[in-house]
């Protein structure tokens, strides 16, 4: 296979993959020529996309690009919502867990943001699509926990609630187990959400009491910067960003 054929059939590739097809020294020179002529584009050091044949001028799949950044990429936060098919809005931020990739890059109008896991027990699953092949993403339960814990990383209160509400079912036992290590504010937010989705997600009163009994403070904020005159949830001791009636429309 020649370089032209390789670039006509390979959308995204690493330097290691390119060198596996061509001798190391010669291959590097060939790739350098392809980049100089515009037949290949550099995403970041060691990662490239084709700009040849059917790939000329195309917007390459952002999840396919991110998956090539490192062998340990697990999509998270709003990107996980998108891959699960429940995201309320599109985002040009691609977010993932990785311990080895570069922290942040920009390419073709998308930003690629790496996060480190809070612990080693992040729950993940494989998803597959024609556009990007097989990639790893946080499970729906892990995604709910992550997004409710870090609303700012996930699009904000309304975006998160409208999105996670799209999950048709969840395993409450998994969320109960995973929230043991969370701060009280996150537990209060998750408890509030589960109470509102109790019928759809089959959440029992015993489940809700599990979350409620862990709250020892007097008040928590649903979102940072929330003022006390917007709304209040007595059971969950939550200062809400808007009235509770408006928030109920989001779920």
CB 80 within 8 A of CB 138: yes
Query: In the chain, what are the domain boundaries?
Result: 3-60, 63-250
Quote the pLDDT of residue 156.
95
Q: How far apart are CA 136 and CA 124, in angstroms?
A: 6
Quote the pLDDT of residue 181.
83
Burial class (CB in 10 A: 0-12, 13-18, 19+), 227: exposed
pLDDT of residue 226 exceeding 90, the answer is: no
Q: How far apart are CA 153 and CA 250, in angstroms?
A: 18
* DSSP bridge partners of 14: 47
DSSP-derived pairing of the beta strands 110-115 and 104-107: antiparallel
- The candidate with the shortest Cα–Cα distance to 191, out of 30, 183, 21, is 183
49-96 tens-digit pLDDT: 999 999 999 999 999 999 999 999 999 999 999 999 999 999 999 999
111-133 tens-digit pLDDT: 999 998 877 789 999 999 888 89
Q: In what order do the strands lie in the sheet with 12-14?
A: 12-14, 47-50, 40-44
Q: How far apart are CA 163 and CA 44, in angstroms?
A: 31
Residues 6+ apart with CB under 8 A from 23: none
pLDDT of residue 171 exceeding 60, the answer is: yes
Average pLDDT score over residue span 134-142? 97
**pLDDT averaged over the chain?**
92
Q: Per residue in 149-182, is it b (16+ CB within 10 Å) or e — as a string?
A: bbbebbbebbbbbbbbbebeebebebbeebbeeb
């Amino acid at each position: 296979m020649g370089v032209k054929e390789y670039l006509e059939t390979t959308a995204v590739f690493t330097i290691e993959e390119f060198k596996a097809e061509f001798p190391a020294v010669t291959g590097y020179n060939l790739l350098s020529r392809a980049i100089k002529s515009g037949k290949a584009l550099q995403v970041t050091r060691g990662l490239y996309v084709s700009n040849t044949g059917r790939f000329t001028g195309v917007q390459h799949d952002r999840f396919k690009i991110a998956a090539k950044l490192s062998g340990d990429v697990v999509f998270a936060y709003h990107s996980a919502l998108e891959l699960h098919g429940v995201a309320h809005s599109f985002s040009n931020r691609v977010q993932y867990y990785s311990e080895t990739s570069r922290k942040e890059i920009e390419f073709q109008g998308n930003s690629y943001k790496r996060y480190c896991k809070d612990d080693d027990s992040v729950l993940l699953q494989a998803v597959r699509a024609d556009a990007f092949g097989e990639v790893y993403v946080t499970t729906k339960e892990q995604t709910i926990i992550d997004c409710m814990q870090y609303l700012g990383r996930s699009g904000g209160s309304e975006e998160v609630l409208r999105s996670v509400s799209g999950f048709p079912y969840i395993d409450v036992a998994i969320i109960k187990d995973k929230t043991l290590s969370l701060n009280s504010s996150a537990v209060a937010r998750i408890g509030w959400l589960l109470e509102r989705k109790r019928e759809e997600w089959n959440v029992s009163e015993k489940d809700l009491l599990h979350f409620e009994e862990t709250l020892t403070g007097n008040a928590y904020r649903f979102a940072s910067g929330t003022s006390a005159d917007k709304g209040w949830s007595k059971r969950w001791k939550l200062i809400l960003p808007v009235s509770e009636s408006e928030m109920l429309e989001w779920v």
